[in-house]
Amino acid sequence: MSTPPLPGKGLSVKVDQELYDDLAVIMSAGKTGDTAGMTASTAVKHAVSLIAGTYRNAWAAGVYRRVSNRRSSPARSPRMTSV
């Protein structure tokens, strides 16, 4: 597992059909339900934020526990396992 890019650095991801379809849905919906939609960059940030919140809530509720990775700090790049 690698670490996330530092703040201010770019992120590159290859868009396959599944990602294209998912981005189209998120971008058309808009972050606050507006009809203007959003950019791909904003859609990715929004989606990552939603998933990260889900992980944080699962850990806080004790549904999953963090498992450290030997190459990185468990606080920075945790994995989820069932409890």
The domain segmentation of the chain, as residue ranges, is: 17-82
Structure tokens at 58: 């699962």
pLDDT tens digit sequence for 27-42:
988 655 556 678 899 8
Residue 32: how many CB atoms within 10 A of its CB?
7
How much is the pLDDT for 66?
Answer: 79
Residue 40's CB is within 10 A of a number of other CB atoms, namely: 15
- Record the pTM: 0.67
Average pLDDT over residues 52-65: 91
Give the residue from 15, 40, 45, 13 showing the smallest Cα distance to 28.
40
SS3 label, residue 32:
coil
